[in-house]
Chain A
Amino acid sequence: MKKAFAALFAALILLTGCEAGEVQRRIVVHALGIDPAGEGYTVSYQIFTGGGGADSGPVDANEQTVITLEADGATLYDAEKNLGLETGREVFLGDVELIVVSRELAGTKLFDLLQYVGRTDIYPGVNVIYCNGRAKDVIGEKLERGAATALLLRGIVQSAVSSCTACSSRIIELSNTVLSDGGARAVPVLTLEKEGDPGEDSSVSPVKIGIYESLVISREGVAGSLSDGGVTGLRLLSCDASDIDAELDTPFGPASVNITGIKAKRRISIEDGRPALRVYIAGKYKVKSAPAKISEEELKILCEKELLRLCGAACRESAESGADFIGLGKLLRKYEPGYYSLNSGDLGGAVKTAVFYVRACLRKY
């Protein structure tokens, strides 16, 4: 019986695993660019092409080892499948660093995208960003900085997030806010403009690359847009900012300060039948450069005013769009459940009528 048992076990092992491909038979995708194509999509895949014949030394994704391939499909699954058929290899998405979506698709089919990435190997902590123009151009751009575009772009997004000029737009966060709670989220928009005639040389250096804007996305679609200052205000109002750089216009000339150690507290209440959010911001400011004539007190007041200005920009966009990207809905649900249950059907109306009280108190570092 033992022999039969062992034979059965060996047969089971040998019968399985045939579907798995060799590692070199997979296409490793570093970045996805999604553009509209009629009712479907054109998906650009920045992929790793192998060692390029290098005999020794470490291999990494750089401009010599990556290329961009395109595939069309009615759905993102179809596009992936088509890429696999075109190349005769299995598409591996576990190494995707960034997903760039054309602005034309903003607000539509977000559910499709999130559902797709949730069911693939893509790391849920990957950022999804929009871009001005075609995503294909962004993904396929050669930036002449050594590393692959995907890694550079990921670095740009991370820098923007850490300097509070953009919000993190990871798949999990988008899924939780936009799709689950009826909330909204500010998704960064990447701008990449090139110098000279694009037709002549595809590897010219871009003059303008970065995140200067964010789109407010809700379940219904694009609800508005925020400048980078507005995003900083949003981060302050969401208690999600700890360190920001500010440029101040003083009567004696420009000044640069770094506001650090920011702590914010939020309290929500209902006043006159509408939500009232009180935000208390505290922190320290560090002067980087300032005109000699300006006093410490004046600088402090200017810093506080700058914070209020940034918050004001976010509040205005919130009131105009009615999109809950500040997270009022969650606050109301937790602290004012009665009001929330009455108004959960029209949260946008509640957001539009909300009042904000912001107080900033800074001290010198």
Chain B
Amino acid sequence: MLIFLLARIMHTMLYRLDGFQTGTPLMLGQLLATAAEAVMALPAVIWFSKRRENPAAALGAGASRAVSTAYALYFTVIAGVTVALFAEFLQTKFSDTVMPGVAAAILCASAAYCAWGGIEGLGRAATVVFWLFVGMFVLMAAVSEGSFEPLNLLPFSEGDGGRTAGYLTESLSSAWWIPMLCALGHHLKSGAAKAAYGYLIMKFAIVETLLLLITLVLWRYVGVLGYPILALGAYAKSDFIQRFDAINMLVWAINCVLVLGVYVMIGSGAFKKPKPGAVFAAAAAAAFGWWQYKRGVKFDEPWYICFKLCGIILLGIILPLTALALLGRKKENAL
């Protein structure tokens, strides 16, 4: 569950919106997206309540292989774009620190190493990284010099419908945790339902809290800084730490390695041997990420949103639905 959450936080971190406007339309969009995701996750949740194996396994050996390849491609692309967006972030905010190409290569190499250890190591590390996030936010809040401005929170008006719809679409396309659930669900000890709905509740609470904080404290200044979560630390200052941007980046980078490790691990599923598979998937993600960085990828590009949505529908909804139908037919035949 925490892996899904960290992947979502990673995605939220890499939002880059110049002229970003927060407020109730976005908060409403998030609410609607969470409700829709709860419904979209149902087939996967039902499947894992019946069987403790990947839904692709129900399709037979050949189809299962094809599905594994599809998963690998899907998550390699997502890993690549994540790498590109992170490199873009480093280039924008820490241009003197590390070259984007080197950063991309190091991220993918580290992700490959993390993927070698399997999902258990990544899952356990996710708990630590999650608490690291919590600690960072608490620390930033404790030393923040900002104050709340309730007037920034405007009621929803008719003219905000377009923004809400746009954010809803974008948010839904960010729901690749559903295909992730299908790929990793059989590892979940606590059950898919608990993980899925626990994730949705936590995601909703975290994202809405972030949006509320940004709206009340920072308002439109977020647009100047570009990265909403980075902007959260704009007012934070203490006698020990003058600026929190680099501290934020440190935690982001840890999270990025971990999340990329999960993507690479799923990406290596298409290979018979996991270790060379992880290296190959990581190398592919690095190459794709570098290409995307060079061509200036944006997280809200239409092709990327369509790609993500198609993956969610095919691998996260249709695949478990098909597996459920096949399972039902098998039972009927058995009777």
**B118 at interface by CB-CB < 8 Å:** no
**A9 at interface by CB-CB < 8 Å:** yes
Tell me if A176 and B221 are in contact (CB < 8 A).
Answer: yes
Q: Digitize B136-156: 1 where CB-to-A-CB distance is under 8 Å, 0 elsewhere.
A: 000000000110000111110
Tell me if B219 and A16 are in contact (CB < 8 A).
Answer: no
Query: What are 21 A-to-B residue pairs whose CB atoms are below 8 Å?
Result: A5-B109, A9-B106, A12-B109, A17-B98, A19-B99, A20-B97, A21-B96, A94-B243, A114-B224, A118-B221, A118-B225, A123-B243, A124-B234, A172-B234, A175-B224, A176-B218, A176-B220, A179-B220, A180-B223, A333-B151, A337-B155
Q: With A118-B225, A330-B151 given, is the CB distance from A94 to B242 under 8 Å?
A: yes
**B333 at interface by CB-CB < 8 Å:** no
**A220 at interface by CB-CB < 8 Å:** no
- Residues of B that sit less than 8 Å from A by CB: 96-99, 102, 105-106, 109, 145-146, 151-155, 157, 218-221, 223-225, 234-235, 237, 242-243, 276, 279
A-chain residues with CB within 8 Å of residue B235 when the two chains form the complex: 124-125, 172
Interface residue range, chain A: 20 to 34
Which of B106, B153, B154, B218 interacts with A172 by CB under 8 Å? B218
Give A64 to B290 CA distance when docked, in angstroms: 49
Give A123 to B235 CA distance when docked, in angstroms: 8
**A54 at interface by CB-CB < 8 Å:** no
Q: Digitize A1-25: 1 where CB-to-B-CB distance is under 8 Å, 0 elsewhere.
A: 1000100110011011101110000
- Residues of A that sit less than 8 Å from B by CB: 1, 5, 8-9, 12-13, 15-17, 19-21, 94-95, 114-115, 118, 121, 123-125, 172, 175-176, 179-181, 327, 330-331, 333-334, 337, 341
Q: Nearest 8 CB-CB pairs, A to B?
A: A180-B220, A118-B224, A330-B151, A16-B102, A172-B221, A124-B234, A176-B219, A175-B221
Tell me if A9 and B109 are in contact (CB < 8 A).
Answer: yes
Tell me if A124 and B151 are in contact (CB < 8 A).
Answer: no
Q: With A12-B102, A16-B102, A172-B146 given, is the CB distance from A124 to B221 under 8 Å?
A: yes
Give A337 to B102 CA distance when docked, in angstroms: 51
Q: With A16-B99, A172-B218 given, is the CB distance from A123 to B237 under 8 Å?
A: yes
A-chain residues with CB within 8 Å of residue B109 when the two chains form the complex: 5, 8-9, 12
B-chain residues with CB within 8 Å of residue A16 when the two chains form the complex: 98-99, 102
B87 smallest CB distance to A (angstroms): 12
Which of B97, B98, B105, B151 interacts with A331 by CB under 8 Å? B151
A-chain residues with CB within 8 Å of residue B220 when the two chains form the complex: 175-176, 179-181
B-chain residues with CB within 8 Å of residue A123 when the two chains form the complex: 237, 242-243
Give A21 to B97 CA distance when docked, in angstroms: 10
A128 smallest CB distance to B (angstroms): 14
Tell me if B242 and A334 are in contact (CB < 8 A).
Answer: no
Tell me if B237 and A334 are in contact (CB < 8 A).
Answer: no
Tell me if B96 and A334 are in contact (CB < 8 A).
Answer: no
Q: Which of A8, A124, A180 has the most CB of B within 10 A?
A: A124
B178 smallest CB distance to A (angstroms): 33
Given A94-B242, A125-B235; 16 other pairs, CB 8 A cutoff: A8-B105, A13-B102, A15-B99, A15-B102, A115-B224, A123-B243, A125-B146, A125-B234, A172-B221, A172-B235, A180-B220, A327-B151, A331-B151, A333-B154, A334-B155, A337-B155
A347 smallest CB distance to B (angstroms): 15
B-chain residues with CB within 8 Å of residue A180 when the two chains form the complex: 219-221, 223
Give A183 to B190 CA distance when docked, in angstroms: 53
Give A20 to B219 CA distance when docked, in angstroms: 33
A-chain residues with CB within 8 Å of residue B243 when the two chains form the complex: 94, 121, 123
Give A115 to B226 CA distance when docked, in angstroms: 12
Give A361 to B234 CA distance when docked, in angstroms: 38
A-chain residues with CB within 8 Å of residue B223 when the two chains form the complex: 180
B-chain residues with CB within 8 Å of residue A1 when the two chains form the complex: 276, 279
Tell me if A125 and B237 are in contact (CB < 8 A).
Answer: yes
Q: Which of A15, A21, A172, A330 has the most CB of B within 10 A?
A: A172
